[in-house]
Amino acid sequence: MSEVPSLLQTRQSIRGNRLVVSCVSLLLALAVLSLVGPLVSSYSVDTIAFDQSFIAPTLEDGRLFGTDDLGRDLFVRTLKGTQITFLVAIVATLVSLVIGVLYGATAGYLGGKIDAVMMRAVDALYAMPFVFFVILLMVVFERSLFLIFVAIGAINWLDTARIVRGQTMSIKQRSFVDAARLTGVSSAGIIWRHIAPNLLGVVIVYITLTIPQVVLFESFLSFLGLGVQEPQTSLGALVSEGVSRMERAPWMLLFPASFLALLLLCLNFLGDGLRDMFDPKSHTG
Amino acid sequence: MLRFALLRILGAIPTLFVVIAAAFLLVHAAPGGPFDSERVLPPEIEKNIRAAYHLDEPLPQQFARYIKGVLQGDLGPSFSRREYTVSEIISDAWPVTFLLGAMGLIVALSFGIVFGLTAALRRNTVVDRLLSGLAMTGISVPVFVVAPVLVLLFAVHLGWLPASFSGGTGAGRFILPVIALALPQLAYIARLFRASMIEVMESDFIRAARAQGLRTVSIVRHHAMKPALLPLLSYLGPAIAAVLTGSVVVEQIFGIPGLGQHFVNGALNRDYTLVLGLVIFYAALIIALNLVVDLLYGFLDPRIRRQ
C-alpha cells in the first residue's frame, strides 16, 4: 500500500498544479478582457437605441454578443458586468478577510475565557440565516455598491476566523513571539507584526475559497434585483434580464450565464487545487 | 441523551431571540418608515395611522408587543397586501416551499450518495474523474443559471414539461424546479460522500474484512456505509439552509407561489413587516431543522453526546 499512494499523490499534485495554472491564466484572461473590451468596442454600456434592439450575435458592426431589448450592446454590458463582479469579489473578500483574521488572531492569541466566549459566538453565528439578513439590509437601506461590499464581506468571515484562530494558537508558542513579548511589544503589536504575517499561507487558501462564495452571493442578490442597481450592472443582473427575454433572445441569457459559470468554475477549481497543495490532508483523493 | 437534548433545545432559544431582536431593530432603526411615501398626508391622518400600527410608542414597548405577538403566532399586518396579515401569507405559502425543498433534498441525497459511491469505488478511473468534474460544475453553476437553461431546453425547445408552475398540473410541474433546486446540493453531497467513503474504505477494519475474503459489495453494504454516511448528516444543516435559499430563486423563475416569492416581492416593495416576518420564519425553520439534525447526530454518534 505504501508506494502506491505516494506515486499517485505525485501524479495528482502535478495534475492539480496544471489545473491551478490554467485556472489562473483563464481568470487573468477574463480580467484583461473585461478591462480592455469596453475600451476597444465602439459601443457604450448604457446607450439605449430602440432601432437596434434584439440584434442576434454577429461579426458585423462588432455586435459580437448581440444587443438586448433596449438596443444596448451586450458585449460591452457583459464585460462591464464582469468588471463589477470582479470588483465586488475583491473588495468583499478583503472585508471578510480583515474581520476574520483580526477576530481569529485575537481569540487565538488571547486564549482562555475570552477565546471561549469569542468562539461560542462564532458557533452561534453559524446557525444564523445570513442570506435572509442581507436581503433585509437591502430592503431597509439604500442599495449601493458600498453596502453590498460590507454586507457580503460581513457574512463570510466565520471560516477564516476559525482557521486563523487555530493557526495563531500554534504560532504564539514559537520563540520569536516570546522574544517580542519580553522586549515589551503590546499584544496588538504582536498580533499585527508577528502573527498576521505568518498566517499568509492559510489566508491565501481561504481567500481563494471565499471569492467564489462572494461572487455567487452577489450575483444571487443582483439576480433578484436586490444587488447592483442600474445604471451599473453585474453578471447576476444581466442573467436576470436574460431570463425575462430568453424565448425571444436566448443570447441575452447565454453570454452572461456562461461568463458567470466559467468564472465560478475557475475560482472553485483554483481554491480546491490550492487547498490540496497547502493541506493535502483536508481532502482525500 | 435526554440531558444532551435538553441542553441543545435550550441553546437554540437565545439564538432565535437574537435573530428576532436583530431583525426587528434593523427594520425599526432604518431611515424612513413604511409610511414615508411621496404623497403628503394630513398630520391627523398620519398620526392616526401611526397610532393604529403602534408606531407612536417608544421602541422597547413596540419590541415587547412584537415579541408577544410572535409567541402567539401573530407577525402583524402586511403593508403591501393590506387585506392579509403576515401570518396568513406565511401559512398559505409554506406548504409549497416545504414540499419543493423536501423533494429537492431527497433527490439530492439519493442521487448524491449513488454518484459519490460510484466515484469512490472506481477511484482514479475515467468514471471517477468524469463524475468529479461534473460535481464541480454542479457546485459552480448557480441555480439561477441552471433553471432557465433547463426551461429553455425541456420546456421551450422540446416541450416535454411546463415552463412555469401555474402552466401545468400534477406532478410534472414539479420536475424542473426540483431538479434545478437539487443539482448544486446533489453535486456537493456526491463530493462529500466520495471523500468520506474513500477514507472509510482505507481504514483498518475494512482491510480486516477484505482479508477475510468478503466481497466488495457486502463490505460496502454491511461495514462501510454507516460510518461513511455520518459526515453527510452534519452537512444536512447547511444543506437545508442552502435549499431554502435556492428555493427563493427557483420560485421566482418558475412562478411558484411559495415563501420565496413573497419574500422577494416584499423586499422589492419594501414591505417591512412581511420581510421581517419571513426572516424570522426562515430563521426559526433553519434553527429548528438544525436542532433536529443535531439531535439525530447525537443519537447516532455517542461521542458527540459526551462533549
In this complex, is the C-beta atom of A188 within 8 Å of any C-beta atom belonging to chain B? no
More confident residue, B69 or A29: A29
How high is the pLDDT of residue A3? 37
Q: Rounded mean pLDDT of A184-192? A: 86
For residue B252, the chain A residues in CB contact (below 8 A) are: 224
Q: How far is CA B22 from each of CA A91, A130, A192, rounded to the nearest angstrom?
A: 25, 12, 31
How far does A41 lie from chain B, in Å, by closest CA?
27
CB contact under 8 A, B279 and A133: yes
Q: Which residue has the cell 483554483?
A: A270
CB contact under 8 A, B140 and A132: no
CB contact under 8 A, A236 and B144: yes
CB contact under 8 A, A216 and B276: no
In this complex, is the C-beta atom of A113 within 8 Å of any C-beta atom belonging to chain B? no
How high is the pLDDT of residue B307? 56
| Alpha helices, H only, B202-271 | 204-211, 216-219, 225-254, 259-268
In a domain, A167, yes or no: yes
Q: What CATH number is given to the structural domain containing A261?
A: 1.10.3720.10
CB contact under 8 A, A246 and B253: no
For residue A128, the chain B residues in CB contact (below 8 A) are: 15, 19, 283
Confidence of residue A7 (pLDDT cuts 50, 70, 90): very low
What domain range includes position A42? 25-283
Angle at CA B281, nearest 5°, toward B264 and B68?
125
CB contact under 8 A, A264 and B23: no
- The answer to whether residue A81 scores a pLDDT higher than 60 is yes
Three cell numbers, residue A98: 480583515
For residue A138, the chain B residues in CB contact (below 8 A) are: 267
How high is the pLDDT of residue B34? 56
For residue B245, the chain A residues in CB contact (below 8 A) are: 131-132, 220
* Residue ranges with strand state E in chain A: none
Confidence of residue A11 (pLDDT cuts 50, 70, 90): low
How high is the pLDDT of residue B109? 94
- The answer to whether residue A5 scores a pLDDT higher than 50 is no
Q: Rounded mean pLDDT of A52-64? A: 77
How far does A142 lie from chain B, in Å, by closest CA?
9
A124, B18 Cβ separation under 8 angstroms: yes
CB contact under 8 A, A264 and B18: no
Buried b (16+ CB within 10 A) or exposed e, A71-98: bbbbbbbbbbbbbbbbbbbebbbebbbe
How high is the pLDDT of residue B114? 94
Cα separation, B1 vs B11, in Å, equals 15
In a domain, A71, yes or no: yes
In this complex, is the C-beta atom of A261 within 8 Å of any C-beta atom belonging to chain B? yes
How high is the pLDDT of residue A2? 34
Q: How many helices (H) and strands (E) does chain B have?
A: 13, 0
Over its C-alpha atoms, chain A yields an Rg (Å, rounded) of 23
Q: How far is CA A106 from each of CA A50, A186, B236, B265, rounded to the nearest angstrom?
A: 57, 13, 31, 41
Instruction: Tell me the three state secondary structure of residue A67.
Output: strand
In a domain, A18, yes or no: no
How high is the pLDDT of residue B35? 53
How crowded is the C-beta side of B265, counted as CA atoms within 13 Å? 16
Could you say which DSSP state residue B79 is in? S
How high is the pLDDT of residue B221? 85
More confident residue, A62 or B114: B114
In a domain, A7, yes or no: no
How high is the pLDDT of residue A135? 84
In a domain, A122, yes or no: yes
CB contact under 8 A, B195 and A141: no
Domain count, chain A: 1
Closest CA in chain B for residue A255: B145
Q: Rounded mean pLDDT of A222-251? A: 87
For residue B278, the chain A residues in CB contact (below 8 A) are: 132
How far the first Cα of chain B sits from its last, in Å, is 12
Over its C-alpha atoms, chain B yields an Rg (Å, rounded) of 24
Question: Per-residue confidence of chain B (307 residues) as pLDDT tens digits?
Answer: 788 888 888 878 888 888 888 888 888 776 655 555 555 677 787 777 777 777 777 788 888 888 888 888 888 888 777 788 888 888 888 888 999 999 999 999 999 999 999 998 888 888 888 998 899 888 888 888 888 888 888 887 787 877 777 766 777 788 889 999 999 999 999 999 998 998 888 888 988 888 888 888 888 888 888 888 888 887 888 888 889 888 999 998 888 888 988 888 888 887 888 888 898 898 888 888 888 888 888 888 777 676 5
Residues A106-134 have pLDDT tens digits of: 898 888 899 988 888 887 777 677 888 88
CB contact under 8 A, A265 and B276: no
Of B31, B145, B194, the CB nearest to A239: B145
Contact map slice: A 204-223 vs B, CB within 8 A: 212, 216, 219-220, 223
Nearest to A154 by CA among B33, B272, B190, B22: B22
How far does B206 lie from chain A, in Å, by closest CA?
14
In a domain, A37, yes or no: yes
Cα separation, B247 vs B241, in Å, equals 10
The ipTM is 0.81
In a domain, A1, yes or no: no
More confident residue, A31 or B287: A31
More confident residue, A263 or A173: A263
Cα separation, A252 vs A59, in Å, equals 16
Q: Write out B146-166 in H/E/C secondary structure.
A: HHHHHHHHHHHHCCCCCCCCC
In this complex, is the C-beta atom of A7 within 8 Å of any C-beta atom belonging to chain B? no
Instruction: Tell me the three state secondary structure of residue B80.
Output: coil
A30, A83 Cβ separation under 8 angstroms: no
- The answer to whether residue A282 scores a pLDDT higher than 60 is no
For residue A131, the chain B residues in CB contact (below 8 A) are: 241, 245
Q: What is the pTM of this model?
A: 0.83
In a domain, A161, yes or no: yes
